[in-house]
Amino acid sequence: MNVRFNDPLSLLPYQTGLVVTPLKEVAARGQTSLDSKQTAVVLGEPIPIVFCRRLNNVGGVFVSPSATEGRFSNNASTNELTVRLQLVLSEGNLPQLQIRDVFQRACRVGTWKQSYDSRTESWLPGNLITSVAGKKFWNCPVYCGTGGTYDNITTLSYLNTHADGDETWDKQVHCFVRQGMEVTRILDDTLGPSNNIVDLSLYLIRQSSRFPEAMLDLDAMESAALFTNANGFFYNGLFNESNNLEDWLQSISRNFLLRVSDKNGKKAFKPRLPVNSNGTIKTTAISWVFTFTEDHILPDGFDIEYISLAERKPICAQMIWRQQPDDDIGIIRVMQVRFSGEAANGPFEQIDLSQFCTSENHAVKVGAYEVARRKYVTHSLRLRIKPDAFNSTLTLGDIVRVQLRRETEVDEVSLHDFLYEVERINKTISGIIELDLIHFPINASGQSILAVLVNNASGTGVLLPTGRENFECDIPDRQEDPNPLPTDPQPPPNPPNPPDGEEELPDEEEPAPPGPNVPNPSDPVEPNLPEICGGTGPGGAPLPGDELEVCSGSEVCEGMYNEWWLCPSDSTEINPSCTKVSEGEAAKYINANNNAGKRVFVRGRCPDPASPDGYGPPNDSEPSPPAAPTITESPGEYRITLTGNSTASFYLEEGYNWFTLFVDTEGCADGQGRRAFTHGSPGGPITRDGGAGLQFSCSPLHFLASGQIFGSLIKRRPGTTGPGDDNFDFVRELEFP
Amino acid sequence: MANRGQSQYLRLFEGATTYKRWQNYYVNQTVTWETASWEYFPFTADGFVGGSSGSGSDASIVIPATTDAVELFEQALSDNWLCQVEMYEFSTKSTQVQPQASQLLIGSIIGEIVNIGGSFTVLTITLGSSLAPVGAQTPPRKYTNYLVGAPIRL
């Protein structure tokens, strides 16, 4: 049985990201601390990804690269300090920075070179500081780094000098990156910097796991990229916080008015608003693809869940974004978005986009969506419907109409009549289709209310001044110098030896099943079964006159009452064909002469005063080997004496050698006395069905065998004919060399 | 609804290489559909869910645990093969000898085999995505000795 559970309908708004409430509000994450101490790389940290593309004076990101190596030296007379730092800018290849975009503290100072996939410049890390009389001693780091390969990393070699006593030598270096890591942009299929969240997401999906390309819906991704591009939703940020990719996709997509969607098992982004073919928000009347009525919905196939009051209350969305001037550091900005006359004094909900959003309009539109969906999106539906024409055409994101009659009053019929967006489709093998739908509010003109509000929302366009008026700490003309930094790739001066420790495990052989079986331990609760001892024939077969007894140690209990049973040779347990031949406490059984071919069982019962006969349930032994006839030997011949057989047919089963068999039929009914039978030839087989059957009717019957005989002596069962095994009883093995 | 039939076509593949094609409607027949041959195998696939990611609605395939099937899916799980199941709808009033040219694709799911479980006789294959719901995966690269050596200590 396969049981499936559906998520509660009340979770749908949360699963779709329609309703998300921040759990905590913190300082703007896009803020950069300027006058701080230079940071160093720590092994294990994520390598940052600088992802941005400045277009039309919008975008770019201010980063503070960490150092991996340093070289510190001073002038022996002036004590001027020279600091060289190897800095990591970003994973991947960044286009060359502009000269005006490199700072130490807030000042454009120093010189630099930039390279990709290698170290920059050839200087060796080290502390070469010497003490200069009368000057301040430079207390520079002594662990200066060892150098690495910098594979697929963009690095910067920064050089600056500091006069004696300058305390700014260890301050943080900053870079304003206008063009971030190069990726293949999905919209124009070109390698270069990008500000499209879809490009970043695809890069991370492909790099972060072995995610199959076949499970990416690239068409939908391209549509989403077109949507963000057309509406100015750009990513200009530093990505360096360790995240779960799925979580990150879910959370970041909401800030671009996208949602993560699985369509046919393929992952994609989908706009949260209706869009035109060119990616712009669709503000014309919405048409729907199908109308569901009572004819389609199955009994009990209608569930409705309203969004809770807490998620519907009017709020003022405080949108935090980053104003990014062309020639200075970014400024954190806040824009409040609310409906006119609502939430004038809160509640306030902070939505921090400052890490990547450098456009006021982007922030305002996201805020408008958050505020508007609280006001207008009221509920979700789950319909269970029978298949119809829509079965092969309805897809995620389609707009449908649900129009149901509500007949709860005698003289009036009302309608549940709304438009919905198809959020989830579940098609089952039974044919029943389950749709999860989210309310899609429209106005009297048939336009999407959310789409109109978001499309019309725009920022004030006001740009705040940076508050900085003094650029005297900059090297002259640096502020306007857009020339790129020089590049000078160098091999690593001292590659780590050894590099990262590696242990490559050898391929093991194919896993194999375990070897020979090992008997399981006996169950201490279940009693042993009695075993039969005393048979002196081959394999313990009882011979005439053998005294059979329960083997020592196999008694189930003390004072066991033994019953001895004689059964046909094909018996595997005591059955009605068996005959009880002996019984008693610790009783034994002496095998009789005429038992050849029969099997012996012993049944042991333990004393039980509560039982009517004083003994408990039976414990039956395994059957003994078939009782064997007596063989007596005389020089050159072997005598087999069978007693108690009146009429029988005897055969020698397939053997491997010739034999001569003398049958002493004296006293038998045929009265022919002793006769010799020879079958086969040396090395040839003896076939049982080749007319070799010897049929006699006498008791006792003596066989005298000479020569070589290997095989089994079997006896035809009375009333049977033909060669089948079921027609014979085993008498005993013959092996006369 | 009574005249609607559904058949499912399952394909195990990796890149351009297809390892197995099964269908579950034409009993004991190998049929041709979309220029490929599909063997009969009595599997059932359920959970053709499309929608918001993260709802935990993975598709599942139930198969008899024959030796061949167990070995096949064990290898698929080990080697990260993909599994695609397509569900078609057609009229049961028309011919049932072979797939109807007019049958309609009403559901499709593609996924990695993320889990196999069940009993000795029945296995349930779960299709999904290998994007782990827990654990940090991004940014993808971290600083190592190989990349930056022993970094400066400031």
pLDDT in tens, A185-233: 999 999 999 999 999 999 998 887 667 888 889 999 999 999 999 999 9
Domain count, chain B: 1
| A396 in contact with B, Cβ within 8 Å | yes
Tell me what pLDDT residue A690 has.
37
Angle, helix A197-208 to helix A245-254, in steps of 10 degrees: 170
Q: Are A279 and A232 in contact (CB under 8 A)?
A: no
**Spatial separation of the C-alpha atoms in residues A264 and A285, rounded to whole Å:** 29
Q: Per-residue pLDDT for A311 more than 90?
A: no
- Chain B residues 4-23 within an 8 A CB cutoff of chain A: 4, 6, 8
**Residues A149-178 pLDDT 10s:** 899 999 999 999 999 989 899 999 999 999
Which chain A residue shows the shortest CA-CA distance from B63?
A: A2
Specify if B119 maps to a domain.
yes
Specify if B56 maps to a domain.
yes
Exposure string of A487-501, with b = 16+ CB inside 10 Å and e = fewer, is eeebebbebbeeeee
Nearest to A182 by CA among A173, A193, A174, A171: A193
Q: Sorting pLDDT into bands at 50, 70 and 90, what band is A390?
A: confident
Residue B126: both structure tokens together: 């779960």
Residue A395: both structure tokens together: 């897809």
Tell me what pLDDT residue A639 has.
52
Residues of A in contact with B150 (CB under 8 A): 143, 145-146, 496
**Interchain contact, A424 vs B54, CB within 8 Å:** no
CA dihedral sign of residues A100, A106, A111, A114: negative
Q: Per-residue pLDDT for B91 more than 90?
A: no
| A513 in contact with B, Cβ within 8 Å | no
Which residue in the set B60, B127, B144 is minimally distant from A2, CB to CB? Answer: B60
Specify if B73 maps to a domain.
yes
- Phi and psi based region of residue A449 (left: phi greater than 0; alpha: psi -120 to 50; beta: remaining): alpha
How crowded is residue A235: how many other Cβ atoms within 10 Å of its Cβ?
29
Task: Say how far residue A69 (Cα) sits from the centre of its chain.
Answer: 40
Helix (H), strand (E), coil (C) string for A57-81? CECCEEECCEEEEEEEEECCCCCCE
Specify if B32 maps to a domain.
yes
Give chain A's count of helices (H) and strands (E): 6, 41
Most A-contacting residue of B13, B79, B147, B153 (CB-CB within 10 A), to test interface: B147
Tell me what pLDDT residue A698 has.
46
**Spatial separation of the C-alpha atoms in residues A166 and A625, rounded to whole Å:** 106
| B100 in contact with A, Cβ within 8 Å | no
Q: How does DSSP assign A694-713, residue by residue?
A: EEEE-SSEEEEEEE-EEEEE
Q: Which of A134-138, A281-285, A494-498 has the lowest mean pLDDT?
A: A494-498
Q: What distance in Å separates residue B47's CA from the closest CA in chain A?
A: 6
What is the mean predicted confidence (pLDDT) over A311-333? 87
Phi, psi of A632, rounded to the nearest 5 degrees = -115, 145
Q: What distance in Å separates residue A64's CA from the closest CA in chain B?
A: 15
Pair type for strands A237-239 and A579-585: unpaired
**Spatial separation of the C-alpha atoms in residues A573 and A583, rounded to whole Å:** 17
**Interchain contact, B154 vs A43, CB within 8 Å:** no
Specify if B153 maps to a domain.
no
Which residue in the set A145, A204, A211 is minimally distant from B149, CB to CB? Answer: A145
Tell me what pLDDT residue A8 has.
72
Tell me what pLDDT residue A304 has.
92
| A40 in contact with B, Cβ within 8 Å | yes
What pTM value is reported for the model?
Answer: 0.74
What does the mean pLDDT of chain A come to? 82
Q: How does DSSP assign B10-47, residue by residue?
A: EEEEETTEEEEEEESSSTT--EEETTEEEEE---EEE-
Residue span of the structural domain in which B39 resides: 4-148
| A242 in contact with B, Cβ within 8 Å | yes
Which chain B residue shows the shortest CA-CA distance from A127?
A: B152
Tell me the C-alpha to C-alpha distance, in Å, between residue A726 and each of A253, A690, A722: 78, 18, 10
Q: Are A548 and A536 in contact (CB under 8 A)?
A: no
Q: Compare A444 and A489 and report the one with higher pLDDT.
A: A444
Q: How does DSSP assign B81-105, residue by residue?
A: -EEEEEEEEEETTS--SS--TT-EE
Specify if B154 maps to a domain.
no
- Chain B residues 123-142 within an 8 A CB cutoff of chain A: 124, 127, 129-142
**Interchain contact, A215 vs B46, CB within 8 Å:** no
Residues of A in contact with B60 (CB under 8 A): 2
| A421 in contact with B, Cβ within 8 Å | no
Which chain B residue shows the shortest CA-CA distance from A387?
A: B1
Tell me what pLDDT residue A733 has.
57
Q: Per-residue pLDDT for B65 more than 60?
A: yes
Which residue in the set A47, A147, A492 is minimally distant from B141, CB to CB? Answer: A47
Tell me the C-alpha to C-alpha distance, in Å, between residue A79 and each of A72, A475, A611: 12, 21, 111
**Interchain contact, A214 vs B106, CB within 8 Å:** no
Q: Which of A706-710, B38-42, B105-109 has the highest mean pLDDT?
A: B38-42
Tell me what pLDDT residue A569 has.
79
Tell me what pLDDT residue A703 has.
52
Q: How many CA atoms lie within 13 A of B112 on its CB side?
A: 18
Q: Which of A210-219, A276-285, A580-589, B113-122 has the lowest mean pLDDT?
A: A210-219
What is the mean predicted confidence (pLDDT) over A44-67? 92
What secondary structure letter does DSSP report for A6?
A: P
Q: Which of A46-55, A328-337, A530-539 has the highest mean pLDDT?
A: A46-55
| A147 in contact with B, Cβ within 8 Å | yes
> Over the Cα atoms of chain A, what is R_g?
48
Tell me what pLDDT residue A646 has.
34
**Spatial separation of the C-alpha atoms in residues A256 and A225, rounded to whole Å:** 10
With vertex at residue A418, the alpha carbon angle to CA A377 and CA A288, rounded to the nearest 5 degrees, is: 105
Tell me what pLDDT residue A369 has.
94
What is the mean predicted confidence (pLDDT) over A535-542? 79
Residues near A282 by beta carbon (within 8 Å), at least 6 away in sequence: A273, A274, A275, A276, A448, A451
Which residue in the set A43, A243, A264 is minimally distant from B50, CB to CB? Answer: A264
Residue B39, strand partner residues: B22
**Residues A76-102 pLDDT 10s:** 999 999 999 999 999 999 999 999 899
Residues of A in contact with B107 (CB under 8 A): 427
Specify if B49 maps to a domain.
yes
Q: Sorting pLDDT into bands at 50, 70 and 90, what band is A680?
A: very low
Q: Per-residue pLDDT for A563 more than 50?
A: yes
Specify if B82 maps to a domain.
yes
Most A-contacting residue of B3, B53, B85, B104 (CB-CB within 10 A), to test interface: B53
CATH number at residue B23: 2.30.110
Tell me what pLDDT residue A699 has.
45
Q: Are B111 and B128 in contact (CB under 8 A)?
A: yes
Which residue in the set B53, B59, B139 is minimally distant from A49, CB to CB? Answer: B139
**Spatial separation of the C-alpha atoms in residues A233 and A457, rounded to whole Å:** 13
Exposure string of A83-113, with b = 16+ CB inside 10 Å and e = fewer, is bbbbbbbbbbbbbbbbbbbbbbebbbbbebb
| B87 in contact with A, Cβ within 8 Å | yes
| A576 in contact with B, Cβ within 8 Å | no
Helix (H), strand (E), coil (C) string for A656-696? CCCEEEEEEECCCCCCCEEEEEEECCCCCCCCCCCCCCEEE
Which residue in the set B51, B84, B148 is minimally distant from A424, CB to CB? Answer: B51
Q: Compare A146 and A495 and report the one with higher pLDDT.
A: A146
| B121 in contact with A, Cβ within 8 Å | no
Q: Sorting pLDDT into bands at 50, 70 and 90, what band is A611?
A: confident
Q: What distance in Å separates residue B20's CA from the closest CA in chain A?
A: 17
Q: Per-residue pLDDT for A235 more than 70?
A: yes
**Spatial separation of the C-alpha atoms in residues A33 and A423, rounded to whole Å:** 43
| A424 in contact with B, Cβ within 8 Å | yes
Q: Per-residue pLDDT for B55 more than 60?
A: no
Tell me what pLDDT residue A502 has.
73
Nearest to B128 by CA among A215, A414, A187, A59: A215
Q: What distance in Å separates residue A416's CA from the closest CA in chain B?
A: 24
Which residue in the set B53, B107, B136 is minimally distant from A427, CB to CB? Answer: B107
Residues of B in contact with A494 (CB under 8 A): 149
| B114 in contact with A, Cβ within 8 Å | no
| B28 in contact with A, Cβ within 8 Å | no
What secondary structure letter does DSSP report for A649?
A: E
How crowded is residue A221: how many other Cβ atoms within 10 Å of its Cβ?
22
**Amino acid at the residue A334:** V
CA dihedral sign of residues A98, A99, A103, A104: positive
Look up tokens 């050698």; give the residue. Answer: A657
| B77 in contact with A, Cβ within 8 Å | no
Q: Sorting pLDDT into bands at 50, 70 and 90, what band is B57?
A: low
Most A-contacting residue of B11, B78, B125, B154 (CB-CB within 10 A), to test interface: B154
Pair type for strands B17-23 and B36-40: parallel
